[in-house]
Structure 1
Amino acid sequence: MRGEYKVPGGKLVAVDVDVAQGRLSDVSVSGDFFLEPDEALDAINAALTGMPVEAGVGQLAAAVTGALADDVTLIGFTAEAVGIAVRRALGKATGWDDHVFDIIPAKVLHPALHVALDEVIAREVAAGERPPTLRFWDWDSPLVVIGSFQSVRNEVDPDGAARHRIEVVRRISGGGAMFMEPGNTITYSLVVPTSLVEGLSFERSYAFLDEWVIGALAEIGVNAHFVPLNDIASDAGKIGGAAQKRFVAGAVLHHVTMAYDIDADKMLEVLRIGREKMSDKGTTSANKRVDPMRSQTGLSRDAIIESFAASFARRYRTKDADYTAEELAEAQRLVDEKFATSRWTHRVP
């Protein structure tokens, strides 16, 4: 059996392995990484040989680390990367090429419906009722979407929100507030089975799941990079951020919002925290815009979304898809019974 894992920003690790009586045998680690001294590769293979097939990434990585002398240097890979490759070889973890992804193009819906669809589709992916899914958001009205653990009163100015007729909805993932008016951001959700991020911490899974969009940004002329914990930045500064939620049933929701053309003056009237974050960024002048994606690419928002979808499809196996009537009905039910209720929105006052 063979498993491979490409370290985000690093090298490829491959493991060939057999299984005998419930334990690893004939383990052979290879790849385009660097390792000094050479003899350390034999130590890694020996450390993995005999490990139980049910050993998790942490156990496998600990075995590798414990077998290496202090003078050993791993360059371009880690002990955890070796563990992930082993788990993939055993079929316990999956890679991008093991899946066919649904791509749902941007479809105009009320933004609260998109918040609810994150939960609906994540449940379906976890249950195996829908394949891993990349879907783009489009919406017809303004909304502030706050993170699952944010305080409404700390984040939102009620007078500003009322003045601009902007409602507030709490999403199921953590992270910061999203100031959403039609056409002002580029937002997508990626829902994958937990097996795709097997062995990755929350921190590392952000970089892993963002790697494709870093490449997609390069294709439209933006030299972007990942900034821990969850930001995406270009040479000119931050352009977007990600949020995540893991479902114990077996799915990971990862969504990203990038600023396309935001009315900063209005945002600062609505978001309290926005004032503090933007206070040193020259946003006090009238009609100030936050427009990194528009100004850095010169492309329309629709063109960027189309380019992102095409870039994802070139990297991975995909098929075109859409929401089902049942999914939209379930999302509307969740809006009515959960996301539009004060009990949910103000659960953290």
Structure 2
Amino acid sequence: MRGEYKVPGGKLVAADVEIAGGVMREVRVSGDFFLEPDEALERIDRALTGLAEDATVATMAQAVSTAVEDAEMIGFTPEAVAIAVRRAQGRASSWSDHTFEILNPGPLEPLTHLALDQVLLEEVGAGRRPPTMRIWEWGAAAVIMGSFQSLRNEVDLEVAQQLGVQVVRRITGGGAMFVEPGNSISYSLYVPGSLVDGLSFERSYAFLDDWVVGALRSMGVDASYVPLNDIASPEGKIGGAAQKRLANGAVLHHTALSYDIDADKMLQVLRIGREKLSDKGTTSAVKRVDPMRRQTGLPYAEVIERLIAHFRERYDTADGEITVAEYARAEQLVAEKFSTPEWLARVP
């Protein structure tokens, strides 16, 4: 059995594995990485050979780390080796194992977007929907708070009401974001847990956003991933990501990209404190968000088209639609959960 894993920003690691009697009888690791000294590769193979076939990524990575403690691994890690082995065993999947349905329904109300995230995640987790990528466009101005943020500390509700800005709360963690029609592009990935098997939360963020970094670079933006969850260029922050995982393993990963932010309005609505800015190397919140409009020189609609085109180039895709039943469930969740004062003020 053979498995492969491409390290985000790094090299390809492959593993050929033979299993008998519940044990990995032979493991051969290869790839376009760099490793010094040469004989360390044989030590990696020996460290993995003889382990139980259901050994965890952590167990395998520890075995590899011990085997190469005096070696230099360039472009890959012990965890990358372990993930390649898991994929060879069929316990972890790769992008090429899935066909992603692409949804691009156009502008929707903020509450509908948030409810659809929960609905589509649950549908993928239940096996009723294939892995899916959904583009968000905003039908109204809004502040979307992270699941665990304090309402009173993050948003000036009086100003938001005066400016006609909705205040809503999503199911993922992270910070508040300010959006208006035509100023922000978001997308969600709904994937099975097997796609991120063995990846830490931190590594899974970079892994699931690797394609969008490539898409931005193809549009002339010198984009890179900044741990834990930011996408940036040398000119400033472009976007940020957040995740939610269900007990059945399904993963929601969504990312918001700023196209042409109204920084003055954002600063009126959001209470962005000095503490949040202190580790960003800037005294101005305006400098923290750099719009794609200036960096790409492309119209808003074309940026969306290019994002989708790049995703199609990298992965197997099919056009899809949100079903009538999914919309109905989303509207039910809007009424029963996302529009309620109890949900909005779950953290007062």
**Which category describes the TM-score, using the shorter chain as reference length?**
over 0.9
CA distance in 2, matches of 1:270, 1:308: 29
Amino acid at match of 2:110: P
My pick for the range that moved more, 266-275 or 244-253, is 266-275
Match of 1:118 in 2: 117
Amino acid at match of 1:49: T
User: Please, what TM-score do these two structures have when normalized by structure 2?
Assistant: 0.95
| 8 Å CA contact retained: 1:150, 1:348 | yes
Show structure 1 runs of 5+ residues with no match: none
1:47 aligns with 2:47: yes
1:88 aligns with 2:87: yes
Match of 1:141 in 2: 140
Match of 1:268 in 2: 267
Q: CA deviation at 1:139?
A: 2.4
Partner SS for 1:196: helix
Partner SS for 1:118: helix
Amino acid at match of 2:115: A
| 8 Å CA contact retained: 1:104, 1:320 | yes
Q: CA deviation at 1:180?
A: 1.5
CA distance in 2, matches of 1:141, 1:43: 58
Partner SS for 1:272: coil
| 8 Å CA contact retained: 1:218, 1:224 | yes
Q: CA deviation at 1:282?
A: 8.0
CA distance in 2, matches of 1:282, 1:190: 28
Q: CA deviation at 1:301?
A: 1.0
Partner SS for 1:52: coil
CA distance in 2, matches of 1:221, 1:73: 33
Match of 1:160 in 2: 159
Match of 1:14 in 2: 14
Match of 2:98 in 1: 99
Match of 2:3 in 1: 3
Q: CA deviation at 1:40?
A: 1.1
Match of 1:281 in 2: 284
1:265-319 CA distances to partner (integer Å, 9 max, x unpaired)?
A: 1111111127874983385xxxx99652111111111110110000000000000
CA distance in 2, matches of 1:165, 1:62: 54
CA distance in 2, matches of 1:301, 1:191: 24
CA distance in 2, matches of 1:192, 1:102: 11
CA distance in 2, matches of 1:289, 1:26: 50
Q: CA deviation at 1:327?
A: 0.5
Q: CA deviation at 1:110?
A: 0.8
CA distance in 2, matches of 1:237, 1:106: 30
Match of 2:28 in 1: 28
| 8 Å CA contact retained: 2:145, 2:176 | yes
What pairs up with 1:93-242 in 2 under 5 angstroms?
93-242=92-241
CA distance in 1, matches of 2:216, 2:290: 15
Amino acid at match of 2:24: L
Amino acid at match of 2:41: L
| 8 Å CA contact retained: 2:146, 2:172 | yes
4+ residue segments displaced more than 6 Å: none
How many equivalent residue pairs? 344
| 8 Å CA contact retained: 1:260, 1:290 | no
| 8 Å CA contact retained: 2:105, 2:321 | no
1:153-204 CA distances to partner (integer Å, 9 max, x unpaired)?
A: 0100011111112221110101111112111111111111111111111111
1:196-218 CA distances to partner (integer Å, 9 max, x unpaired)?
A: 11111111111111110111001
1:231-263 CA distances to partner (integer Å, 9 max, x unpaired)?
A: 101121111111111112121111111111121
Match of 2:247 in 1: 248
1:53-102 CA distances to partner (integer Å, 9 max, x unpaired)?
A: 1111111111112233x421111111111100000000000000000001
| 8 Å CA contact retained: 1:6, 1:12 | yes
Identity %: 61
User: Please, what TM-score do these two structures have when normalized by structure 1?
Assistant: 0.95
CA distance in 2, matches of 1:235, 1:59: 38
Match of 2:56 in 1: 56
| 8 Å CA contact retained: 2:144, 2:177 | yes
CA distance in 1, matches of 2:7, 2:253: 19
| 8 Å CA contact retained: 1:144, 1:178 | yes
CA distance in 1, matches of 2:211, 2:288: 27
My pick for the range that moved more, 148-157 or 31-40, is 31-40
Amino acid at match of 1:281: S
CA distance in 2, matches of 1:77, 1:39: 16
Amino acid at match of 1:173: T
For the structure 1 residues 290 and 63, does the alpha-carbon distance in structure 2 shift closer, same or farther, using more than 3 Å as the test? closer
